[in-house]
Amino acid sequence: MKRKIFYFLLIILTFLTVLVNGSGFSWFLLSFEILFAIAMAVWAHLTAKKIKIGLELEQAFIFRGDQAKAVLTIQNPAVFPVSDIQAGVILSDPVNEGRESKRTVHVAAGGKGKDQWQFQVQPVHCGIVKVQVRELRLYDYLGVFYGKISAPLLKGAFAVLPRIHPIVLEKEPETGAGQGEQRENVLARLGSDSQEIFDTRAYQRGDAMKNIHWKLSAKAEELMVKEFSMSMDLRVPVFLDTHVKDPEKFTPADKDRFLDLAASLGNYFVEHQVAFEFCWMTEDHMEKFMVEDPDSLYYGLRELLMIPYFKAEDGKAEVFLENEKEVLPVRILTTGEIYVGDQMYGNLGV
């Protein structure tokens, strides 16, 4: 806008000069300024129709605090290069009440070629971030006139996972099978060969595709998974209690700290080769996601971004946790505490 105002002021000044002295050069200069402006406006409008733009996100997920990289690809079939294309980038997070942020990215492209421009975005909170590119404008060489680039909706999405902090637990959590003779019987049944198939079961979220028993799945008409290394009874249930006292005061920053605890504890178990499953409540049942390695941990953390939160009423959450203490030996509260059996830990430096 400033450049446009400046250019029109220049034309007015030249016109006043023509009125004062009426020299041939003044008339030539005024004509040139007007014709050049018209030529630039037409060029920007016509070239904008030929430009093709694409958007690509380099990562499917990042950790909170890191930057996500996006690439704009500009294809210019015209002879003349393009010096300034402005793209309006909108970031939205439907998980965190649809918060939006906007920024403008400036890119360029040579004549009869393709150029790629990388830009970075850094979301503040955990969530599923949607990236959209709107308001594509191609400006002329003076930056005065522009043409709108018609392109299909450019969009993508990536997950912002919670941070992983180093933590140490003084007490080893019990598995669902407990300790003692029952645990020893299960271990004896497993044997020492990690490739030995001792059981099959129905597919659950978090299972690796390579472990699917395809022949048995075809007979059973549902996906069946081969069990190699650990029984379901030996997975540690990690329950995420999503009850909060006042949902209106439970901010995205509070949610970040809660998810950081889950991520850090999950990473601790993965590093110590402890298979576990994240558990959380929905309106009418308990959801589970099994984690056995770093890959399944990352997918599990992505699932946690979308878990629901409930208002704690009349101590129902406390009664539920007390009744399920034996079944759910590890519990994470939105207030920042971790319970391993009866042992309570604070925020563990998270």
Are residues 288 and 222 located together in one domain of the fold?
A: no
Contact 327, 176 (CB under 8 A): yes
Are residues 272 and 290 located together in one domain of the fold?
A: yes
Are residues 60 and 156 located together in one domain of the fold?
A: yes
pLDDT per residue as tens digits for the range 123-151: 888 999 999 988 899 999 888 889 999 87
Write down the pTM of the prediction: 0.70
Residue 42 lies in a domain: no
pLDDT per residue as tens digits for the range 296-335: 999 999 999 989 888 876 444 554 555 555 555 788 888 8
Residue 348 lies in a domain: yes
Q: What's the domain count of the chain?
A: 3
Residue 88 lies in a domain: yes
Averaged pLDDT of the chain: 80
Which domain covers residue 305, as residue numbers? 162-193+232-350
Residue 130 lies in a domain: yes
